Amino acid sequence: MDADDDLYWQDDQNSFRFAPDISHTDLLKVADFAEELGYDLRWQERGYTLEEVQKRLRNDGPSAFLRVARVQEDVSPKAPPEQTAQYIAERLRRLDPQDELLITDPYLFTNSAKKDLEDYAQSVADLITPLLASGAKLVTIVDGDQTHPDVRDAVLAELAAKRADTDVQVVQSKDFHDRFWIADRSRGAIIGTSLYKIGRKIFFIDALSERDVAAVLRETDAALDFIEQGKQVNEGGELTR
């Protein structure tokens, strides 16, 4: 068939053209059906320059290309910590937490930050406090074995200094490795690095779908359930599972 025909085939890619233009929803249905039959539909985006790809990844995360192109975490270059922090802040502002911000990050109070304690504490507070509406609650789930008490105390003190009206809870759990940020139990993001490593390594940040948010909340609710049941609370106000 000629390339001008409504349906055409290429030896090297086995690509087809639909007429009239197929909708995005129907295209995903076709992809699902092909997968059921054992085929791998390989889509080729046309007209994207490297700069455009990087812009879409910065603005929308890898989900902008899911089911269309394979995306690797290393498509975004390293950047200075200040620039990277600004990038993360811009993305996280979309969460707009009014009542609660939940963060799961096993290394939020990492031992590694002990050597630049004050700078790290300030950077964490500078990132989190502008996101929170007045009176919003902050819940963090961390790994106790990866937590340095001096780092924890410094970060909490800096948060309190900047937002005295924010109730902060620190929960220890080994159930989480990924860094989830969820606002008001409805909007979420995943960050591919802990805050201490921003600017030090390549990473991604992506929005969570409603289904993903619900799945994460099922796990966090299980970890936080002992709060309701009055389980162990240690002297620092830190809840340990």
The 10s digit of each residue's pLDDT in 2-25 is: 334 343 444 454 555 677 777 766
Would you state the pLDDT for residue 203? Answer: 72
Residue 37 main-chain phi, psi, to 5 deg? -85, -5
Q: Is the pLDDT of residue 191 over 70?
A: yes
Between residues 27 and 139, the one the model is more confident about = 139
Q: How far apart are alpha carbons 173 and 219 in whole angstroms?
A: 11
**185: pLDDT confidence band, cut at 50, 70 and 90?**
very high
Most confident by average pLDDT, 3-7, 42-46, 134-138: 134-138
The top-scoring range by mean pLDDT among 38-42, 126-130, 170-174 is: 126-130
Structural domains in the chain plus CATH codes: 84-240 (3.30.870.10)
Residue type for position 196: Y
Q: Evaluate if residue 74 carries a pLDDT over 50.
A: no
Q: Using 50, 70 and 90 to split pLDDT, how confident is the model at 214?
A: very high
Query: For residue 68, what are its two tokens?
Result: 């269309």
The encoded tokens of residue 193 equal 């690095």
- Environment class of 48 (CB within 10 Å of its CB; exposed 0-12, middle 13-18, buried 19+): middle
